[in-house]
Structure 1
Amino acid sequence: MATSLNLDIVSRDDGAFSLVAAGEIDMSNIEAFNEGLDAGIRESAGSGTTLTVDLGAVTYLDSTAITALFGKADRIDIVAHPHLMDVLAVSGLAEVVAIEPAPL
């Protein structure tokens, strides 16, 4: 059974796009997450901006999610739930992607 994950691509007021994720990201739903990333990156490329991946409502992510984010590192920025900040830093992702903590 797939873990609960909601994804939505949102156009922001500044013309940029965000992929807003809520729930958990793991190997049971990584395909949907990858599809969301790809769709968001296509939208962003059309507007000449970088996709913001909003993980502010993500409570858990596993190594498959981190690998997916690494694979798109040159085309994304990340806003992450404060509880995820250590995991993203330890993984090394914070060295290649701009990551900001989401407001609580």
Structure 2
Amino acid sequence: MSTPLTLTPGRTSDGAVVLTAAGEIDMSNSASFAAALTDTSRDAGGAFTVDLTAVDYIDSAGLAALFPHVDHLRLISNRLLAPVLTIAGLDDITTFPEQP
């Protein structure tokens, strides 16, 4: 059974391409995540953003889906994922929204 994950492609008000993920990213849905990343990368034709602020969990399969796009990728994440992204070496392309 697949873990719930919602993937929503879109654009910011300034036209930048963004893929917003919500839920959990694991081996049960990492192929869908990888496909959405590839589609978003193709649509962007360059740099794009992946918003992980509504992601509660990401495993190694989810992280592996990010690496083919790392040269054109910007991540926005919540603090919950910070240790995982740091260990994976993705912290240099990740920003964290200010906490209220």
TM-score by length of 2: 0.92
User: Which residue pairs with 1:42 in the alignment?
Assistant: 42
- Where does the alignment leave 5 or more consecutive residues of structure 2 unmatched? none
**1:25 is the counterpart of 2:25:** yes
User: Which residue pairs with 2:74 in the alignment?
Assistant: 77
Distance 2:3 2:97 in 1: 22
**1:100 is the counterpart of 2:56:** no
What per-residue deviation string (whole Å, max 9, x for no partner) do you get for residues 37-70 of structure 1? Answer: 011111111xxx5110000000000001111112
- Quote the sequence identity (%): 38
- Where does the alignment leave 5 or more consecutive residues of structure 1 unmatched? none
Task: Flag the 1:103–1:8 CA change in 2: closer, same or farther, 3 A.
Answer: farther
After TM superposition, the runs of 4+ consecutive aligned structure 1 residues lying more than 2 A away are none
TM-score by length of 1: 0.89
Give the drift of 1:11: 1.1
Distance 1:41 1:3 in 2: 24
CA RMSD of aligned residues (A): 1.3
